Amino acid sequence: MTQTDLGRPRPEFVHNGIAFGCDYNPEQWSPEVWAEDVRLMREAGVDLVAINIFGWSNVQPSPDRYNFDDLDAVITLLHDNGIRVNLGTGTSSAPPWLSTQHPEILPMVSDGTTRYPGGRQAWCPSSPVFRDYALRLVEKVAERYGNHPAVALWHVSNELGCHNGRCYCPTTAAAFRSWLEKKYGSIDSLNRAWGTSFWSQRYSTWSEIDTPKLTLSSGNPGQALDFQRFSSDELLSYYRSERDVIRRHSSVPVTTNFMVAAHIDNLDYWSWAPEMDVIANDHYLDHRLPDPAAELNFAADLTRGLANGEPWLLMEQATGAVNWQPHNIAKVPGEMVRNVMTHVARGADAVCSFQWRASLQGSEKFHSALVPHAGTDSAHWRSVVELGALLDRLDEVQGSRVVADVAVIFSWESTWASDGANMPSQSVKSLDQAHAAYNAARDAGLSVQMVSPDSDLSGYGLILVPGLYLVTDAQAARLADAVAAGAHAVVTYFSGIVDHDDRVRPGGYPGAFTELLGVRSEEFFPLMPGDQMQLEWVGTASTGIANSPATLWSENLHPTTAEVMATYVDGQLPGVPAVTLNSFGNGHAWYVATELGADTLRDLITRIASEAGVKRPSDALRFGSDGVEISRRVSAEHSYLFVINHSKEDVTVASIGYELVTETSVDNTLRVPAGAVRVVREDSRA
Ligand code: GAL
């Protein structure tokens, strides 16, 4: 048990086995349906349900009237049936009476127009009026249910910042100014940090500073970056205010559902994570991406990174299609189980879905649910019941931790800075680089721990640093220390370029990492989309590495102390190094100065991992979204080998122990049919 910032022990989320749950919105249904719901929940083995997520207008129908009758009845019903409650504070969406009486709570977008109620989350995170009303509701809910035996977890608001991550209104501007005053102390120091000598942007008083609204040309990047930092802090402070109210009435753990996903990057969850009693994440397959399953892996590992390696809760996923993508793709048989098991294999101790019963009305009526529109006489319902039974068989893995000795450094702050306007190439996105490096490690069959640049890096044999554009001196020193102590690092292009203030580090690129990498480059040579460069790998570097063409980026790179491992054959820089290797202290630092093909990067990482002595959970398979996913969770007593077969062929894996999915023992060889999932409690002989 760790200490909270209040000096009290942090409440732990305790559950008997892997929790199986869902969002439950009984306010959309009649009490007769509730009784049927609970009967079916028991049939499926559902044991944790999130309620009151969007309950505000029901429990407080008018400013001075609260009505908890329905919530009381639902909580009692769930409790009587042994189903635990993940209790929403209900503040996610304000009722119409509040925005009618106080239109000043409505959020403003960057063009200065207000967004109206009628959807959800239409509130300004800095609004004292919204906060006041919301906290009064939280107080009532916490007072009433704080000690209720059914309540296992508090669910603050819902996906904070999903729609209202940035507000540009005058109230926010005032809060932004206070945040800036606290950060900089003097206007001169702000002017220096933002580089306001440029384009006549110098401020003489705080009151001249506004939120970074739409401008004719591009705006000030320092202002934009600080606004992103501020906006993340502002919502975190909102979270804290709800949590602190709950704390006065309840010792039950408190959390909120993160959105670690490719399409949402509003919040710096590294700063949020320490404030949660348990980390919870919502994840939906995103079919707008080229490889949705790879992004699922990334998100699950990043969530475990936020949990500091501890187990975490999958708070929402979809049992089938969502309804908010341009084309909402249903899951084929077996796919939901594979998705869910990817999360469990990567540390999730709860599997919850949005939502229990498919709505008949409202914006989400075509979103999948545990109980579909078709009812229980459906393949979908049967697959839900099977999932519940499967999770029951896996209960014993709860509490175990994933073993990983490859670190991938990821920073939301750096992503915000590097993905701004007026960069050398709009095709270079640090999130894409993070995914590429992560995928290479995954496809090499390695187990990855995602870490923040402020993390302790000791203990990792291999550290990947994809596109870490913004890096502080202290962060760069941590990496250098880890390499000097013996780690192998792979830094990819457009890293180390700017400091905390987004100020370019002069003297040659890659700025903060020139000494570590033993290289210096004088000019970037980004490529046009579609252009390619052939590479020539030097000497032994060519062995076992797929030589696909490089794209997107090159630079006029000179080695100072590094060895050249690959050069460009053509393009604008023939003969110039594309990949280098530097010995640094007891370790080795690779620089990848271009966008390698996915197979090339995978092979390179495979080779470096083996040189670094990093072990894979299992050898000799084809890994990845059309291959096999393997990871291991370890407890004090046991280790569990997870094998998820995404391929169309059966595979075999060396293993000895007891297989929990099929409840059979495994003697030397585990056979995993195409599309299936297996979990072996490994015999210590293995
Ligand atoms: C989440 C949200 C849920 C539901 C779900 C649909 O973002 O928390 O309330 O809207 O998406 O996929």
- Could you report the per-residue pLDDT of 575-610, keeping only the tens digit for each? 999 999 999 999 999 999 999 999 999 999 999 999
DSSP-assigned beta bridge partners for residue 151 = 85
- pLDDT value of position 584: 98
Residues 48 and 20: beta-carbon distance below 8 Å: yes
Contacts of 102 (CB under 8 A, 6+ apart): 129, 130, 133
CB of 354 within 6 A of ligand 1: the answer is yes
Which pLDDT does position 7 carry in this prediction?
56
Report long-range pairs for 217-223 (Cβ below 8 Å, ≥24 apart): 218/420, 218/421, 218/422, 219/421, 220/194, 220/195, 220/196, 221/417, 221/420, 221/421, 221/422, 221/502, 222/193, 222/194, 222/195, 222/196, 222/501, 222/502, 223/194
Comparing CA positions, the residue from 496, 306, 293 lying closest to residue 414 is: 496
Instruction: Give 218-247 as a DSSP string.
Output: ---HHHHHHHHHHHHHHHHHHHHHHHHHHH
What is the distance of C-alpha 449 from the center of its chain?
12
Q: Whose CA is nearest to atom 4 of ligand 1?
A: 354
Examine the pLDDT at 10 and tell me if it is beyond 90: no
* Helices (runs of H) and strands (runs of E) counted in the chain: 17, 27
Q: How far is CA 372 from CA 20, 318, 378, in A?
A: 17, 12, 8
| Bridge partner list, 462 | 406, 488
pLDDT tens digits for range 162-173: 999 999 999 999
* pLDDT reported for residue 619: 80
Which mutation among 28, 329, 354 tests ligand 1's pocket best, with the greatest number of atoms within 8 A of CB?
Answer: 354
Task: Give the model's pLDDT for residue 4.
Answer: 47
Res 2: pLDDT: 42
How far apart (Å, rounded) are the C-alpha atoms in residues 235 and 253?
19
pLDDT of residue 544: 85
Query: 231-250 burial, b for 16+ CB within 10 Å, e for fewer?
Result: bbbbbbebbbebbebbbebb
Classify residue 208 by burial, with Cβ atoms within 10 Å: 0-12, 13-18, 19+.
exposed
Distance 454 CA to ligand 1 centre (A): 31
Query: 682 phi and psi, to 5 degrees?
Result: -80, 140
Ligand 1: does its nearest atom lie under 6 Å from the Cβ of 270?
Answer: no
Residue 621, helix vs strand vs coil:
coil
Q: How far apart are the first and last CA of the chain?
A: 32
Tell me if the bond preceding 673 is cis, omega within 30° of 0: no
Residue nearest to atom 7 of ligand 1 (CA): 159
- Percent of the chain clearing pLDDT 70 (strictly above): 98
Q: How far apart are CA 107 and CA 102, in angstroms?
A: 12
Does residue 637 carry a catalytic annotation?
A: no
Lookup: tokens for 499: 């400091």
Q: Are strands 48-51 and 401-402 parallel, antiparallel or unpaired?
A: unpaired
Other beta carbons within 10 Å of 52: 29
Closest approach atom of ligand 1 to CA 53 = 9
The amino acid sitting at 654 is A
Q: Is the CB of 233 under 6 A from ligand 1?
A: no
Find the mean pLDDT for residues 179-202.
98
Q: Verify whether residue 159 is a known catalytic residue.
A: yes
CA distance 613 to 441: 14
Question: In the predicted model, what is the mean pLDDT of residues 211-236?
Answer: 97
**Set 234, 242, 295, 316: catalytic member:** 316
Please report which confidence band the pLDDT of residue 685 belongs to, taking 50, 70 and 90 as the band edges: very low
Residue 686: pLDDT over 50: no
Q: What's the pLDDT band for 203 if we cut at 50, 70, 90?
A: very high
Q: Which tens digit of pLDDT belongs to each residue from 416-447?
A: 999 888 999 999 999 999 999 999 999 999 99
Give the pLDDT band (50/70/90) at residue 1.
very low
Give the contacts of 135 (CB within 8 A, at least 6 positions apart).
Answer: 241, 242, 245
Range of weakest confidence among 286-290, 327-331, 417-421, 616-620? 616-620
**Nearest C-alpha to atom 10 of ligand 1 is from which residue?**
364
Q: What is the DSSP string of 639-684?
A: EEEEEEE-SSS-EEEE--EEETTTTEEE-SEEEE-TT-EEEEEE-T
Taking the C-alpha atoms of residue 562 and residue 208, their distance in angstroms, rounded to an integer, is 49
Closest by CA to 552, choosing from 468, 434, 433, 412, is 433
Does the structure show a pLDDT above 50 at 373? yes
Span from the CA of 31 to the centroid of ligand 1 (angstroms): 24
| Residue 142, SS3 per DSSP | helix
Cβ neighbours of residue 603 closer than 8 Å, sequence gap 6 or more: 444, 544, 545, 546
Amino acid at 613: G
- pLDDT for the residue 188: 98
How much distance in Å is there from the Cα of 354 to the middle of ligand 1? 7
Mutate to test the pocket of ligand 1, among 316, 366, 370 (most ligand atoms within 8 A of CB): 316
* pLDDT of 8: 64
Strand order in the sheet with 664-666: 401-402, 628-634, 639-645, 677-682, 657-659, 664-666
367 lines ligand 1 (CB under 6 A): yes
The reported pLDDT for the residue numbered 3 is 44
322 in contact with ligand 1, CB cutoff 6 A = yes
CB distance 24 to ligand 1 below 6 Å: no
Six token digits for residue 202:
């110098």
pLDDT confidence tier of residue 265, bands split at 50, 70 and 90:
confident
Which contacts of 131-135 are long-range, i.e. CB under 8 A and separated by 24 or more positions?
131/238, 131/241, 133/94, 133/98, 133/102, 134/89, 134/91, 134/94, 134/242, 135/241, 135/242, 135/245
Question: Which residue's CA lies nearest to atom 2 of ligand 1?
Answer: 159
- Looking from the CA of 311 toward its CB, the CA atoms found within 13 Å total 23
Give 555's strand partners. Answer: 524
Nearest to 547 by CA among 493, 586, 494, 602: 602
CB of residue 321 inside a 6 A radius of ligand 1? no
The residue with tokens 């050069």 is 567
For the CA of 318, the nearest atom of ligand 1? 12
199: left (phi over 0), alpha (psi -120 to 50) or beta: left
CB 487 within 8 A of CB 493: no
CB atoms within 10 A of CB 13: 23
Q: What percent of the chain has pLDDT over 90?
A: 94
Helix (H) or strand (E) holding 566: strand 563-568
For the stretch 89-139, pLDDT in tens is 999 999 999 999 999 999 999 999 999 999 999 999 999 999 999 999 999
Angle at 570 between CA 567 and CA 575, to 5 degrees: 35
The rounded distance, in Å, linking the Cα atoms of 163 and 334 is: 32
Q: Are 344 and 388 in contact (CB under 8 A)?
A: no
